[in-house]
Structure 1
Amino acid sequence: MQKQTTLASEAAYTGVGLHSGREVHMVLCPAGADTGLVFVRTDLPGQPEIHALAENVTSTLRATTVEEKGCKVFTIEHLMSAFHAAGIDNCRIEMDSEEPPVADGSALAFFELIQEAGKKELDAPRHEVVVDKVYRIDDEKKERFVMVVPYDGFRVSFTSVNPHKLIGIQYEDFEIDEETYHKEIAPARTIAYEKEIEALRQMGLGLGGTIESVIVYNDDGWVNPLHFEDELVRHKILDVIGDLRLAGPVRGHVIAAASGHALNTALAKLLAAAPRG
């Protein structure tokens, strides 16, 4: 029987939020069994808690937002992805702003922070989401989908479709374990099309994004160097791992085509009702 886990020690990280542009101090704190992953807004009166659960998702516009009792945190998918891959079940995430730091636009800093803090086993059984049948979510036009099928492990196969001639169709398939995630997925960064950046900022989004935290491309090519030739699809895998963690630790094979936060979190809501192992 697998046991639940938490961090062996506290770990802290300070930076700015990708969309808010606000400085944030984040502390990852050990937590007891069955706590789950809980965000704590230390900047608000009473330090309200927001549980990172699929049922608490309230927005998927360019990021995943969870909200509870009128308090929210957003752009949580990179941190959630790192927790999922590292196998951490319980943690209190204290933040003095509404958005985790963007770091370099990937999950690498968070994953390594978790590794440095260490993992502690708790005296309570682990509750994985054991996929026992096919769960699938399609968009309205049936052009994009994300599904998960039974599988003894955790695997993600993703096809990314981008009309830009520079990117086109990218595909990757990974068995997700800590070593593979650290090397192949965690370093993949957020990507933006240069012509969209100003429109995003007028919407109040991307205010903390810089050339150090976002890969930018235009009609001529990449503005900054890539970590991987197919970094876009690897970041998409990073995102789906984070979004599905809102259902709990998943045991299954995720298969997706051009999926984003809306479809990912809709699938997480379906999985939240799946059997637990």
Structure 2
Amino acid sequence: MVKQKTILNEVSLEGVGLHTGQQVKMTLKPAPINNGFSFVRVDLEGSPVIEADATYVVNTQRGTNLEKKGVKVQTTEHVLAALVGCDLDNVIIELNASEPPIMDGSSKFFVEAVEKAGVVEQDAERQEYIVKEVISYTDEKTGSEIILMPSDSYQVTTMVDFGTKVLGTQNATLKSLSDFKEEISDARTFSFLHELETLLDHGLIKGGDLNNAIVYVDKEISANTMEKLKVAFEKDDINVTPNGILDNLVLNHPNEAARHKLLDVIGDLALVGIRIRGKVIANKPGHLVNTQFAKKLSKIIANEQKNTIPEYNINQEPLMDINQIMAMLPHRPPFLLVDKILEMSDSHVIGLKNVTMNEPFFVGHFPGAPVMPGVLTIEAMAQAGGILVLSSVPDPENYITLFMKIDKVRFRHPVLPGDTLLFKLELLSPIRRGICHMQAYAYANGKMVTEAELMAQIVKK
């Protein structure tokens, strides 16, 4: 079992935002299990949180930008790539502006900050999406394509063709995340001169200078453009090297542009929110196609998780039988609706109920065509979840569990006498102050019959 990881200590970096030009302080902080990566805008009232989630992508012009309830975070990809490249699962990223510092245009300084902070294992299993079949996405307008195929580990290959003499076809490959620091992290962002002119005219790179972006000169520089560049970069003189790069900046790698595109792919696919075990092949990648693929993959994973039915051996002794359940739950027949607990960890529980014709509710609920009331299916799932939250205290017999919220309920199929109901509940956030927020599923006859988000709190009797 691979454990989740976070950083041991908080660590801060300061710099300027590439597009905003604002001075910004970014602090990386340890995060609890199942938190994932999340941004916190400490400069705004209430310190709103934006999770690193593909559903919040609103713009991919010159970076991947997230927005939740009107709160924005810009250019998220470099810091997210560093966190994935350092094999982390849970980190809180505090910002006192809308954009992380650009530093030198790569992930190098973020990786060094993580190393300074230290890495620690957490007491929870890492979730991983194992790719079983080819998944692809194509942008018909640009010809950009991303393919994800089965592999024993997370690997990424990028193939780029910029169609210019100064920067033609390049490829880059990362065979293991353990190579990210040495092979990918120092690959800097880049731009072509014709793009740079447009960005300058629209005031979109206020924090740019020749130390945090490679500029490839793909056209002759006019005297007017040269003066604009001098002003923008606060330089008395600007030169073009023989290899077509502004101001004698030395490349870290011959294929640095392709390596940076690979860095961007890793950062953007971090928005899927789960570790990927598979090989990514990205042809002409960019933030738009990367994030569109991330959204598609997120939906596929969510759908598979919903329909992944827990497997159990009917001959195996359960983790908790009915007597052990009654020692923990205050419910009693006919309102005790869980027969067995099959599996449990700090973040999930799997329970079982055998639905029989002599259930008391069948007497009056559709006697001629008995169907288990949907609200009782919800209650049964909640009781299984109650076992999970009560297990977090040393004296569960002194507590009862009370509902706080039921949300996103879907009844998909009826539950009938003779069915065996399986419940799977997973924490959506760590248990705090006895409050448990869970995603709950119920299955019968090889199908999901009910799903819901449940929130409950344990209180002293």
Q: TM-score, normalised by structure 1?
A: 0.96
**Contact 2:131–2:277 under 8 Å retained in 1:** yes
Task: List aligned pairs for 1:167-246, cutoff 5 A.
Answer: 167-178=167-178, 180-219=179-218, 221-223=244-246, 224-246=249-271
Deviates more, 1:75-84 or 1:263-272: 263-272
Residue of structure 2 in register with 1:123 after alignment: 123
**Contact 2:130–2:277 under 8 Å retained in 1:** yes
Residue of structure 1 in register with 2:95 after alignment: 95
CA apart distance, 1:257: 0.8
- Report the Cα distance in structure 1 between the residues aligned to 2:2 and 2:62, rounded to whole angstroms: 35
- Report the Cα distance in structure 1 between the residues aligned to 2:145 and 2:82, rounded to whole angstroms: 23
Residue of structure 1 in register with 2:4 after alignment: 4
Residue of structure 1 in register with 2:32 after alignment: 32
User: SS at the partner of 2:278?
Assistant: strand
**Contact 1:170–1:233 under 8 Å retained in 2:** yes
CA apart distance, 1:195: 2.9
CA apart distance, 1:162: 0.8
Structure 1 stretches lacking a partner, 5+ long: none
CA apart distance, 1:158: 1.0
Q: Return the match for 1:268 from 294, 314, 319.
A: 294
CA apart distance, 1:105: 0.3
- Report the Cα distance in structure 2 between the residues aligned to 1:176 and 1:76, rounded to whole angstroms: 22
CA apart distance, 1:14: 0.3
**Contact 1:85–1:176 under 8 Å retained in 2:** no
Alpha-carbon displacement from aligned partner over 1:191-236 (angstroms, at most 9, x marks no partner):
1112321311333322111100001121461122211111100000
User: SS at the partner of 1:222?
Assistant: coil
- Report the Cα distance in structure 1 between the residues aligned to 2:98 and 2:3, rounded to whole angstroms: 31
User: SS at the partner of 1:228?
Assistant: coil
Alpha-carbon displacement from aligned partner over 1:34-80 (angstroms, at most 9, x marks no partner):
11111000110111000001111111111001111110101010001
- Report the Cα distance in structure 2 between the residues aligned to 1:133 and 1:122, rounded to whole angstroms: 31
Task: List aligned pairs for 1:11-26, cutoff 5 A.
Answer: 11-26=11-26
- Report the Cα distance in structure 1 between the residues aligned to 2:88 and 2:298, rounded to whole angstroms: 17
Deviates more, 1:184-193 or 1:167-176: 167-176
Task: List aligned pairs for 1:68-147, cutoff 5 A.
Answer: 68-141=68-141, 143-147=143-147
CA apart distance, 1:143: 1.9
**Contact 2:87–2:177 under 8 Å retained in 1:** no
- Report the Cα distance in structure 1 between the residues aligned to 2:14 and 2:141, rounded to whole angstroms: 41
User: SS at the partner of 1:268?
Assistant: helix
**Contact 1:160–1:170 under 8 Å retained in 2:** yes
Residue of structure 2 in register with 1:51 after alignment: 51
- Report the Cα distance in structure 1 between the residues aligned to 2:271 and 2:155, rounded to whole angstroms: 17
Say whether 1:258 aligns with 2:281.
no
**Which AA in structure 2 matches 1:241?**
I
- Report the Cα distance in structure 2 between the residues aligned to 1:113 and 1:11, rounded to whole angstroms: 6
- Report the Cα distance in structure 2 between the residues aligned to 1:228 and 1:209, rounded to whole angstroms: 21
**Which AA in structure 2 matches 1:222?**
I
- Report the Cα distance in structure 1 between the residues aligned to 2:84 and 2:132, rounded to whole angstroms: 20
CA apart distance, 1:142: 6.4
Residue of structure 2 in register with 1:163 after alignment: 163
**Contact 2:38–2:91 under 8 Å retained in 1:** yes
Larger Rg: 2
Deviates more, 1:110-119 or 1:74-83: 110-119
- Report the Cα distance in structure 1 between the residues aligned to 2:142 and 2:71, rounded to whole angstroms: 34
- Report the Cα distance in structure 1 between the residues aligned to 2:149 and 2:137, rounded to whole angstroms: 12
User: SS at the partner of 1:114?
Assistant: helix
- Report the Cα distance in structure 2 between the residues aligned to 1:13 and 1:259, rounded to whole angstroms: 29
- Report the Cα distance in structure 1 between the residues aligned to 2:279 and 2:176, rounded to whole angstroms: 10
**Contact 1:63–1:77 under 8 Å retained in 2:** yes
Change in 2 beyond 3 A, CA 1:142/1:47: closer
Q: Report sequence identity in percent.
A: 41
Aligned residues between the structures:
276
- Report the Cα distance in structure 1 between the residues aligned to 2:54 and 2:129, rounded to whole angstroms: 13
CA apart distance, 1:266: 1.0
- Report the Cα distance in structure 2 between the residues aligned to 1:53 and 1:150, rounded to whole angstroms: 23
- Report the Cα distance in structure 2 between the residues aligned to 1:44 and 1:141, rounded to whole angstroms: 38
**Which AA in structure 2 matches 1:250?**
I
**Which AA in structure 2 matches 1:107?**
S
Alpha-carbon displacement from aligned partner over 1:155-183 (angstroms, at most 9, x marks no partner):
111111111102110012221322x1111
